[in-house]
Chains A and B, each alone.
Chain A
Amino acid sequence: MDLNEKIKILSDSAKYDVSCSSSGSSRKNKKGGIGNAAPSGICHSWTPDGRCISLLKILFTNYCIYDCKYCVNRSSNDIPRASFTTDELVNLIINFYRRNYIEGLFLSSAVCVSPDHTMELLLKSVKRLREEFNFNGYIHVKAIPGASNALIEETGKYVDRMSINIELPSDESLKLLAPQKTKESIIKPMGLIKSGIIQYQEEKLKFKNAPQFVPGGQSTQLIVGATKENDLKILKLSEYLYNSYKLKRVYYSAYVPVSNHPNLPAISRPPLLREHRLYQADWLLRFYGFSSDELLNEEHPNFDELLDPKSGWAIRNLDKFPVEINKADYYTLLRVPGIGVKSAQRIVQGRKVSMLDFSDLKKLGIVLKRAKYFITCKGKYFPQRSIPTNPVSIKSRLLLEDNIKTHENIEQLSFFTLFPDIMAAEGEL
């Protein structure tokens, strides 16, 4: 089979993995070598679905011994199959990299022959890239569930990021849709990588040249909408992963219908809006100091599709508002709907030299569309005929303002969801 055909098959199979971020690592180039990592990540192109291409995201092979129901590569699915040789793969990476098509490699694989056999193939590829080609660009490798500790640990020495996709957010769902995988086979390597990273970070403090281990951290992906878990359950799981496993990122992937198995929901389009709300909430956990309990509870276990999670929270907690722009501390500012990390930083910086009023805020680039219901400047509300102060009318106002541009908004959705980490820090909710 020629390389064109292989690329077609093996990229097609990899595309549902949404992670493409190349951030978080600052690996340096070596003398006479090629490549380095940019800590903030770089996008190299955008596909017609609006997603950024940063890493060459590809499978080593799509031959699979497993039969996970939600997956295009499941063994029972009748699709064309292909495998790279390591030679083909490493040459492809180097030649793409030299032409500045890509920021590095995101290598994943279906499970071919056995988990260990597959993991060995991945290890061999990244080892050759690093040692034979002196390649120092970004490498993200998927750890194969069920592979031996030794293989996973050794791979960790060569890569910038590792991930194990949980995909299904509960035990029952795993049993239902991926009966050959167990929770243990996923959780165990995660724990292993976590301790490797902790050890590396400790050694780094002591010796300057401590051997690297997954310096860009680990991540995972959850599929949204293939099973019946509600948003609360998903967000709780993410929170747990951030706190206990120190994950860098949890990605959410709206389930794209690829099969009509009876255990799968019959939907025609991926639930993009829901995915979008989860990403927004995820940001609130990571950068805004929110906890999942504040955003959702058993009574309201799902996000309002019409309203972003922060506005939803603010409306339920009106006793905490309005917030005075010239006095509130940074974290309080961050909790105001419409004020993101960048805006809050600007406010804190700008008010050092003078008290801010609403026209100053505009000059600072702060969007008041949402914020105006929740803030005062020098003790006064936004000068508009009537700023409502009760939850029901604030909500209807927010929705009204959104509706003016509903169509655009829906198209804008994946803007937030699929841009690499750099957007996350800048994204304004």
Chain B
Amino acid sequence: MLYYIYDGTFDGLLTAIYDSYYKKDFPEQIVPQDNFTDNFLINKVYIRTDEEKSKKVHDAILQKISRGAMANIMYAYLSEHENAGIFILEYLRFGFKVGKIIDSYLADDRVNNINKLVTKVAREKHLLAGIIRFRLLQNNIYYALIEPQYNTICLLGKHFAGRMSDQVFVIHDVKRSYGVFYDKTKWFMSDIEINKDIVLHEKEIFYQELWKRYFDGITIESRLNPKLQSNHMPKRYWKYLIEMN
């Protein structure tokens, strides 16, 4: 059994794709090193991330398949699904064969596997655009905590930077210990380590209370349907929702 092991970055993954083509390998799995559990039956190849190789794969996808295919594998990668790496390789092999019509092969497993992951990530991205809650801190930074199921917050930087263009904010993915930062001119991603106490702005609790009041006021008692509520907004996201606590 041949396993490709990469450093977990997107560039690393594309490098793995490049190497498999170059060496005419058919790896069984392509996994990030952090998720890899060794056993003696596995033949391991460690991928050395190489931006040039990664760029070549990127350009080839745009040229020979499509922009949409590029977005698809990016989303699939962000799903962090255990098979994402190998699904992406299979999808790209197929794509290099059939070209831009690839996404019409909806019933083909190589396409279907990717589409399922893409849908999940896209859905979470849309949900998070709505349910991220900023808390205003004493130092005038709007700070949001979230534990997404997939690695989606990097997809939200553009959305929030465009929308909250005149406020400094941080969206902190607690699970992955990194965040999206915006400083009123540009947004970027960086690791986060909190070493000071977080102090709320003096007005923060006041607005949180008003929001809760609104949330209670708008509910129609004769239509209660909590199951429907949690279908739309699964409980795993409630932890940081002001109105649910």
Binding site for B on A (CB under 8 A): 3-4, 7-12, 14-16, 29, 31-36, 38, 42-54, 56-58, 92, 95-96, 98-101, 103, 137, 256, 269-270, 272, 346, 349-350, 352-354, 356, 359-360, 363-364, 411-412, 414-415, 419
Query: B162: shortest Cβ distance to chain A, in Å?
Result: 6
Give the residue of A45, A95, A364 whose beta carbon is less than 8 angstroms from that of B233.
Answer: A45
- A43-B217 contact, Cβ under 8 Å, with A34-B165, A349-B106: no
A49 close to B220 (CB less than 8 A):
yes
A15 close to B106 (CB less than 8 A):
no
- A57-B133 contact, Cβ under 8 Å, with A34-B165, A46-B233, A356-B107: no
CB-CB under 8 A from B59, the residues of chain A are none
B214 close to A46 (CB less than 8 A):
no
B214 close to A56 (CB less than 8 A):
yes
CB-CB under 8 A from A16, the residues of chain B are 220
State in angstroms the CA–CA spacing of A54 and B136 once bound together: 21
Give the residue of A36, A46, A419 whose beta carbon is less than 8 angstroms from that of B162.
Answer: A36
Query: B1: shortest Cβ distance to chain A, in Å?
Result: 28
CB-CB under 8 A from B242, the residues of chain A are 101
B213 close to A49 (CB less than 8 A):
no
CB-CB under 8 A from B162, the residues of chain A are 29, 36
Give the residue of A8, A96, A99 whose beta carbon is less than 8 angstroms from that of B142.
Answer: A99
In the complex, whether B224 has a CB less than 8 A from a CB of chain A is yes
B228 close to A269 (CB less than 8 A):
no
CB-CB under 8 A from A29, the residues of chain B are 162-163, 165
CB-CB under 8 A from A44, the residues of chain B are 130-131
Q: Across the interface, name the chain B residue whose C-beta is closest to A4.
A: B213
Q: Across the interface, name the chain B residue whose C-beta is closest to A268.
A: B222
Total CB contacts across the A-B interface at under 8 A: 166
State in angstroms the CA–CA spacing of A320 and B127 once bound together: 40
Interface of B: prevailing SS: helix
- A15-B166 contact, Cβ under 8 Å, with A46-B233, A48-B229, A49-B225: no
- Stretch among B6-14, B62-70, B188-196, B204-212 lining the A interface: B204-212
State in angstroms the CA–CA spacing of A36 and B216 once bound together: 27
In the complex, whether B219 has a CB less than 8 A from a CB of chain A is yes
Number of interface residues of B (CB under 8 A): 55
B220 close to A34 (CB less than 8 A):
no
- Stretch among B16-24, B43-51, B97-105 lining the A interface: B97-105
Q: Flag B224-235 by CB within 8 Å of A: 1 or 0 each.
A: 111111011100
> Could you say which of B207, B217, B233 has the most chain A C-beta atoms within 10 Å of its C-beta?
B217
Q: Could you give 5 example pairs across A and B, Cβ below 8 Å?
A: A8-B213, A8-B217, A29-B162, A44-B130, A46-B229
B219 close to A353 (CB less than 8 A):
no
Give the residue of B129, B163, B220 whose beta carbon is less than 8 angstroms from that of A15.
Answer: B220
A15 close to B107 (CB less than 8 A):
no
CB-CB under 8 A from A7, the residues of chain B are 210, 213-214, 217
B219 close to A15 (CB less than 8 A):
yes
Query: A60: shortest Cβ distance to chain B, in Å?
Result: 15
CB-CB under 8 A from A269, the residues of chain B are 222
Q: Flag B139-161 by CB within 8 Å of A: 1 or 0 each.
A: 00010100000000000000010
A100 close to B217 (CB less than 8 A):
no
- A364-B107 contact, Cβ under 8 Å, with A42-B129, A44-B131, A99-B134: yes
CB-CB under 8 A from B127, the residues of chain A are 43
CB-CB under 8 A from B136, the residues of chain A are 98-99
Given contacts A48-B225, A350-B105, 16 further A-B contacts (CB under 8 A): A7-B217, A11-B213, A11-B218, A29-B165, A46-B229, A48-B219, A48-B224, A49-B228, A49-B229, A50-B226, A53-B218, A58-B214, A98-B134, A98-B142, A352-B104, A364-B106
